[in-house]
C-alpha cells in the first residue's frame, strides 16, 4: 500500500528532526528523552536513591534518562503495553495498565515500597477523531493519577502528559487539590503543533 502524503511528510520531518538526530548520536531510544531531560533539569526532580515508576515507558527513552541520572542508586520500574528491549538497571513489566492484572504485578514489584516520582507519558492509539481520542487519553491520565494517589509518598512528584481538550481543566483542578504546586510545561522537544503538554505536580499532600 502506498504511503499517504501525511506519512511522507511525517517521515521527512522525523529524519530531519534535530532531536531525533541527537537521540541517535547519544544512544537514546527516542527523542522524547529530551522532553524529560528539560523538565528534570528545570525542576530538579531526581535525587540519588529515588524510586521512580515510568508508565507508558516504551521504547524506553524516559527510563534511560532516569537511570542515567540516578546512577547506581535507586530503582526505575517501567511498564508498557508494548514490549521493550532490556535496559540495564530498569525493571520492565509488559502489560496493559488499564487491566487489573498489570497493576497487580506493578504493585507486587513495589512490595509496599513508597514511590518518589511517577512519570506517565501514556497516550492512546490516536485515530485523529477528537471525540474518540480525548476521552481515551483522559481515561489513561486518570488511571495514572489514581496510581500516584495510592503509591506516591508525601512530598513526591507526578509528571503526566496531557492533551488539551475536554476534561483538561477539571483534571488540573483535581491535581491542585492533591499537590502543593502544579505547573503546565511545554518542553522545547515537544513539537509546536502537538496539543500535548505536561502537568508537573510536586509536593504531594498527605492523605
pTM of the model: 0.85
Phi, psi of 152 (to 5 degrees): -80, 135
CA atoms 93, 178, 161, 190: torsion sign: negative
Other Cβ atoms less than 10 A from the Cβ of 128: the count is: 7
The predicted pLDDT at position 20 comes to 60
Closest CA to 179 of 197, 206, 161: 206
Contact (Cβ atoms closer than 8 angstroms) between residue 104 and residue 125: no
Name, in order, each residue with C-beta under 8 angstroms of 138's C-beta and a sequence gap of 6 or more: 166, 167, 168, 171
Taken in order of first residue, the domains within the chain and their CATH numbers are 30-204 (3.40.50.150)
What pLDDT score was predicted for residue 10?
38
Segment 126-175, tens digit of pLDDT:
888 989 999 999 999 999 999 999 999 999 999 999 999 999 999 999 99
Instruction: Provide the pLDDT confidence category of residue 44 given band limits of 50, 70 and 90.
Output: confident
Q: Which of 24, 38, 32, 34 is nearest to 58 (CA)?
A: 32
Rg from Cα positions in the chain: 17
Q: What is the mean pLDDT of the chain?
A: 87
Is position 169 annotated in a ligand binding site? no
Residue 108's contacts (CB-CB under 8 Å, 6 or more residues apart) are: none
What amino acid positions are annotated as catalytic residues? Answer: 161
Q: Which residue has the cell 503509591?
A: 151
The verdict on whether residue 96 carries a ligand-binding annotation is yes
For residue 17, count other CB atoms closer than 10 A to its CB: 14
More confident residue, 64 or 4: 64
On whether 10 is known to bind a ligand per the annotation, the reply is no
Amino acid at each position: 500500500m502506498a504511503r499517504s502524503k501525511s506519512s511522507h511528510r511525517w517521515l521527512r520531518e522525523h529524519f530531519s528532526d534535530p532531536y531525533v538526530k541527537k537521540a541517535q548520536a547519544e544512544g537514546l531510544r527516542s527523542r522524547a528523552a529530551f522532553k524529560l531531560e528539560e523538565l528534570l533539569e528545570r525542576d530538579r526532580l531526581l535525587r540519588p536513591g529515588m524510586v521512580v515508576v515510568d508508565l507508558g515507558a516504551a521504547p524506553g527513552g524516559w527510563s534511560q534518562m532516569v537511570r542515567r541520572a540516578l546512577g547506581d542508586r535507586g530503582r526505575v520500574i517501567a511498564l508498557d503495553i508494548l514490549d521493550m528491549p532490556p535496559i540495564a538497571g530498569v525493571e520492565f513489566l509488559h502489560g496493559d495498565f488499564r487491566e487489573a492484572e498489570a497493576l497487580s504485578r506493578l504493585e507486587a514489584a513495589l512490595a509496599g515500597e513508597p514511590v518518589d516520582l511517577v512519570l506517565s507519558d501514556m497516550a492512546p492509539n490516536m485515530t485523529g477523531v477528537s471525540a474518540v481520542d480525548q476521552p481515551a487519553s483522559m481515561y489513561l491520565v486518570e488511571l495514572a493519577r489514581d496510581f500516584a494517589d495510592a503509591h506516591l509518598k508525601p512530598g513526591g512528584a507526578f509528571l503526566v502528559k496531557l492533551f488539551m481538550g475536554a476534561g483538561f481543566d477539571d483534571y488540573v483542578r483535581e491535581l491542585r487539590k492533591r499537590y502543593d504546586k502544579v505547573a503546565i510545561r511545554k518542553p522545547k522537544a515537544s513539537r509546536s503543533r502537538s496539543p500535548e503538554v505536561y502537568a508537573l505536580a510536586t509536593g504531594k499532600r498527605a492523605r
